[in-house]
């Protein structure tokens, strides 16, 4: 299994009692460690108005991390296009590529209040439908989570208002991705026929990825343009099979790829024993709850703080799909689950996201997994 690359997705989490500055230093250190451990990529997510997440600007984080590492690919997982333009995106990544050519992954995501669910039929994998919440190989596929209440929340409206200029309207996602590709390739023409050439940016040696949680527009855009696609099992496990199959169904060969290429994410915590790993993962449930109630991600709690959390039955139901699909245990146990995920989705690589309260525990989790994976 060592031929299936492992990558890292980092939200730059702030632990309870810590600071954003320390979280940034931890993330840069983890990127350096991941490079030594043999991970193929190190991606930063983009999140806003979250007290427990410092990853607000992938481009800034990548510029800092590029200077602290030398070989690992670095990228965005993902840039949120709902509040930015194609030009600003290409310019930001073009600047970084000018100093660190050939190492950047430009992951593009949908945002800005656009619908996140599709009306596709249940996904088929190897000709078999998901039965009783399980893929044919036994991988847990929980019921789909509806993000409607998050999109309708006052906090989401506030975030949108603060991110966009007054009166601004998000560009159609399919068109926006097309504009980014044209600006990178030097083929952009306005409706009036005017050319635009971005310096630095045009000709940048970046890999383009599309990130998606369903088989809808993101999967279709990635497939139709022959781009790499990352499906989010750790965010939306109920629709991961649909996302991967939707992408493959839409795929058309391009100068970038002659066949579909899928990476799938998983939330993971590894320790020397299963009991120790579950202790480290105790804060995950309250942390996910804070996101899904539109409160905003809280600073990641200690195990003791997590145990003291006053859970209600609606709280548990709100986070059940995420908690039940988190891979927690020894390196061997987690690697077995990752192999199951890879088999069910046909993934070409896997993206690992790990959050623990203590930075040393997070580094150790990635190290133990990398060591186990290299032996398979």
Residue 115 has pLDDT above 90, yes or no: no
Cα 34 to the chain's mean position, in Å?
17
The first and second tokens of residue 185, run together, are 């390739």
Domain limits, the chain: 6-374
Residue corresponding to tokens 């430009």 = 106
pLDDT of residue 197: 98
The SS3 call for residue 165 is coil
CA distance 82 to 86: 10
CATH 3.20.20.30 fits domain 6-374:
yes
pLDDT of residue 147: 86
Beta bridge partners of 195: 189
CA distance 234 to 299: 19
The continuous run of DSSP H or E covering 207 comes out as strand 207-212
Residue 151 has pLDDT above 90, yes or no: no
Query: Tens of pLDDT along 325-338?
Result: 999 999 999 999 99
Cα 325 to the chain's mean position, in Å?
15
pLDDT of residue 211: 97
pLDDT of residue 123: 40
Tell me how long the chain is: 376
Residue corresponding to tokens 């990228």 = 75
Q: Give mean pLDDT, residues 270-287.
A: 98
Buried residues in 143-176 as b, exposed as e (16+ CB within 10 A): ebbebeeeeeeeebeebbeebbeeeeebbebeeb
Cα angle vertex 153, ends 148, 157, to 5°?
A: 110
Residue 112 has pLDDT above 70, yes or no: no
Query: Tens of pLDDT along 290-318?
Result: 999 999 999 999 999 999 999 999 999 99
Of 73 and 156, the one with more pLDDT: 73
Residue 100 has pLDDT above 90, yes or no: yes
CA distance 156 to 49: 9
Angle between the 313-324 and 284-292 helix axes, to the nearest 10 degrees?
110
Q: Answer whether 280's CB lies under 8 Å from 272's CB.
A: no
Q: What is the mean pLDDT of the chain?
A: 94
Residue 111 has pLDDT above 90, yes or no: no
Residue 118 has pLDDT above 50, yes or no: no
């Amino acid at each position: 299994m060592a031929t299936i690359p492992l990558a890292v997705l980092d939200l730059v989490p702030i632990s309870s009692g810590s600071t954003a500055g320390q979280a940034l230093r931890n993330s840069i250190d983890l990127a350096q460690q991941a490079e030594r451990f043999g991970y193929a990529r190190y991606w930063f997510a983009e999140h806003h108005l979250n007290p427990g997440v410092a990853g607000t600007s992938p481009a800034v984080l990548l510029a800092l991390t590029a200077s602290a590492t030398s070989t690992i690919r670095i990228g965005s997982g993902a840039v949120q296009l709902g509040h930015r333009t194609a030009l600003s995106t290409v310019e930001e990544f073009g600047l970084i590529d000018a100093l660190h050519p050939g190492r950047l992954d430009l992951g593009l995501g949908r945002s800005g209040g656009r619908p996140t669910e599709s009306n596709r039929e249940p996904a088929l994998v190897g000709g078999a439908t998901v039965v009783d919440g399980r893929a044919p190989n036994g991988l847990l596929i929980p019921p789909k989570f509806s993000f409607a209440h998050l999109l309708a929340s006052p906090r989401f409206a506030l975030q949108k208002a603060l991110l966009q200029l007054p009166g601004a309207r998000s560009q159609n996602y399919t068109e926006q991705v097309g504009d980014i590709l044209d600006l990178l390739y030097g083929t952009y023409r306005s409706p009036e026929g005017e050319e635009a050439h971005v310096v630095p940016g045009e000709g940048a040696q970046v890999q383009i990825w599309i990130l998606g949680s369903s088989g809808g527009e993101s999967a279709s855009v990635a497939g139709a343009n022959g781009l790499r696609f990352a499906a989010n099992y750790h965010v939306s496990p109920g629709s991961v099979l649909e996302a991967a199959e939707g992408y493959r169904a839409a795929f058309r060969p391009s100068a970038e790829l002659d066949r579909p290429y899928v990476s799938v994410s998983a939330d993971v915590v590894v320790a020397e024993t299963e009991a120790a790993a579950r202790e480290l993962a105790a804060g995950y449930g309250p942390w996910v709850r804070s996101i899904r109630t539109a409160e905003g991600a809280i600073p990641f709690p200690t195990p003791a703080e997590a145990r003291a959390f006053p859970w209600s039955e609606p709280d548990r139901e709100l986070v059940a799909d995420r908690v039940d699909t988190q891979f927690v245990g020894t390196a061997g146990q987690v690697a077995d689950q990752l192999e199951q995920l890879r088999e069910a989705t046909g993934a070409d690589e896997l993206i690992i996201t790990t959050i623990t309260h203590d930075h040393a525990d997070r580094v150790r989790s990635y190290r133990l997994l990398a060591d186990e994976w290299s032996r398979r």
